[in-house]
Structure 1
Amino acid sequence: MRMRSDTAGRPAPWAGYAAAVWGFVFAVPSFYWGMGGLAGAASTVSPALVELARERDPGFVAVLWVTGVLKVVGGLLGLALARRRAWGRGMSRVLQLAGWGGAVLLVWHGALFVGQGLLVQAHVLRIEPELVTVSRWYTCLWGPWFMAGGVAFALAARAHLRAVGDDRRNAGIAGWVGGIGAAVLSAGATVAGVG
């Protein structure tokens, strides 16, 4: 089944709008927890992170606000990828770089949550008993949520690339650079035990 286009030769922008909604919705918990709200955090988020939020640790509160802003930027990226009129050459390259980079980072991060959670459920990995419930949330909610965002950004970047026009080759290269760079960064962070 082919995506329907509203304009000849241009794919429908639904994936960009889905990525935008994903980013804006996902920013809400970051800002809520950054303002001191903790409802829902105790059962769905790592106890160490909940404790930092409860203590109002300045560094952690700053991280919450920064991640909230980054999620809003992700929402704006989704809107930019959905834009119907052509961007300038440089901007299309930046959008491809950011779109594919974000897609790979989100899918990788979500897959780590799901993979680790499945290994815990299969008793291949052992964790503290008090973390089992939280692990299920990471496996069934946070991991799939990150992956869904990654898929939305990948589809939005793909649709955007199809609409780029005469700079498609260079924009495509920028997308490859973003995706491969994000994969290398993610693999390095995983090996280093960060994230």
Structure 2
Amino acid sequence: MLWVTGMLKVVGGLLGLALVRRRAWGRGMDCLLQLMAWGAGVLLVWHGALFVGQGLLVQAHIIELAPELLPVSRWYTYLWGPWFVGGGVTFILAARTHLSTMADRRGATITGMIGGLGALALSAAALIAGIG
């Protein structure tokens, strides 16, 4: 799993570079960049918000957590969760900046919305299934 997350970070870095680079990629590649950027952005914001939300519920004693997991919960609530949210917002801002440089924005906008909604649906399904 560590190798998979490492590769995802490399792909995310390359995606970020491709979004901010001033180059005409072509319509198909621009749409693919929008799909991936909005998908990654929404997924990161959602994931981080779940960390923060669950941690705040634990801190408010609304939900219970095993005592040995409380220090880890604080890390996720106050450090990792906000970083995930910040990374997701950064991807979304980069996608919007990239979109503003494109001549044909309509198709890329629709593709970006599909990426964002698809990521949200996938994450919600995994959450309901108890996978993530």
TM-score by length of 1: 0.67
Structure 1 runs of 4+ aligned residues shifted over 3 Å read: none
Q: Which amino acid is the alignment partner of residue 57 of structure 2?
A: L
Kindly state the Cα deviation for residue 193 of structure 1 after the two structures are TM-superposed: 1.3
Kindly state the Cα deviation for residue 111 of structure 1 after the two structures are TM-superposed: 0.5
**What's the secondary structure of 1:86's corresponding residue?**
coil
Kindly state the Cα deviation for residue 190 of structure 1 after the two structures are TM-superposed: 1.2
Q: How does 1:103-122 map to 2 (within 5 A)?
A: 103-122=41-60
**What's the secondary structure of 2:5's corresponding residue?**
helix
- Which ranges in structure 2 are unaligned for 5 or more consecutive residues? none
Q: How does 1:112-151 map to 2 (within 5 A)?
A: 112-151=50-89
Distance of 2:5 and 2:28 partners within structure 1: 26
Q: Which amino acid is the alignment partner of residue 150 of structure 1?
A: G
**What's the secondary structure of 2:83's corresponding residue?**
helix
Q: Which amino acid is the alignment partner of residue 33 of structure 2?
A: L
Distance of 2:91 and 2:44 partners within structure 1: 9
Higher relative CO (Cα under 8 Å, sequence separation at least 6) belongs to 2
1:181 maps onto 2:118 in alignment? yes
Q: Is the 8 A contact 1:114 1:138 kept in 2?
A: yes
Q: Which residue of 2 aligns with 1:170?
A: 107
**What's the secondary structure of 2:2's corresponding residue?**
helix
CA RMSD of aligned residues (A): 0.7
Q: Is the 8 A contact 1:86 1:163 kept in 2?
A: no
After superposition, what is the alpha-carbon deviation per residue over 1:37-63, rounded to whole angstroms, capped at 9, x for unaligned? xxxxxxxxxxxxxxxxxxxxxxxxxx1
Q: Is the 8 A contact 1:87 1:164 kept in 2?
A: no
Number of matched pairs: 132
Distance of 2:24 and 2:86 partners within structure 1: 26
Distance of 2:78 and 2:10 partners within structure 1: 24
Q: Which residue of 1 aligns with 2:40?
A: 102
Distance of 1:94 and 1:68 partners within structure 2: 22
TM-score by length of 2: 0.98
Distance of 2:6 and 2:102 partners within structure 1: 30
